A and B are shown apart, each in its own frame.
Chain A
């Protein structure tokens, strides 16, 4: 299973807030088992999407110097189930940001309807601590997450003098 639970960023304000979207496709593997004949998006994967959006938001605030680790979900309220075919909007906002940790408030909406509220707490591991714990593997901002970060940067912070190209994941005009 691919571990990427947001599709792209549609807004991004450095160190403050971000908005990402996630389309729910019936073809996603987990819907076959969660649950057979009654496909709903698992709450834990929605929280993971909020953590990915929030983690990129706070990771970017210090140029991805530290590894951002989901440490705690302070609270999570699920107002209703979400089903294949829906488009989820994930809004994340920095509540606290310090050198060693950050808190992000997350909200998921479908259209105007609020479906999830959660508070996500991240710990930052500096390179030496991360190397000690994870033997130097850069496991956070790699692979598909890195692609997402690169697309976000290209869309919202294109290098000076470069015209913003549309690209496959560009935000709609």
Chain B
């Protein structure tokens, strides 16, 4: 089982290749879209590369859900995620750090959840799960 630092390093180098960014642009808190310029097609590319790099299977929609709420009014009201929606997010993405998002749960801030640290935590969970 690699350490968190080793996983982070590999995630970084994967993002360098997938997004054509410099390694020194990447920090744990960098968001994929705003900071690193990822476009929708890059998310799939990143999934492929992570699978290869770590020898794992990432089921469709597990790391990057394609459309989280489908406009369901139980989950989203007036552009904000409801408490029920937050619970859904916590269940679907246990690897996401939702505390800060929960302070101001606007739907438009959802993309900021997807950071380098989130991918690292996801991989860590994946690897410890498969080792169990």
Q: Residues on A close to B: CB < 8 A?
A: 71-72, 74-75, 95-96, 98-101, 103, 121, 123
Rounded to whole Å, the gap between the CB of B95 and the closest CB of chain A is 21
Q: Which residue of B lies closest to A121 (CB)?
A: B45
Rounded to whole Å, the gap between the CB of A98 and the closest CB of chain B is 7
Report which residue of B17, B48, B52 has the largest number of chain A beta carbons within 10 angstroms of its beta carbon: B48
From known contacts A98-B60, A99-B60, A100-B60, infer whether A72 and B42 are also in contact, taking CB-CB under 8 Å. Answer: yes
Rounded to whole Å, the gap between the CB of A154 and the closest CB of chain B is 32
Contacts of B48 in A (CB 8 A): 95-96, 98, 101, 103, 121
Bound-state CA distance A98–B17 (Å) is 20
Rounded to whole Å, the gap between the CB of B72 and the closest CB of chain A is 21
Cβ–Cβ contact B45 & A72, under 8 A: yes
Bound-state CA distance A29–B37 (Å) is 37
- Kindly identify, within residues 39 to 87 of chain B, every residue whose CB is under 8 Å from any CB belonging to chain A: 41-42, 44-45, 48, 51-52, 60
21 sampled A-B residue pairs with Cβ under 8 A? A71-B41, A71-B44, A72-B41, A72-B42, A74-B18, A74-B45, A95-B52, A96-B48, A96-B51, A96-B52, A98-B60, A100-B60, A101-B44, A101-B45, A101-B48, A103-B48, A121-B41, A121-B44, A121-B45, A121-B48, A123-B44
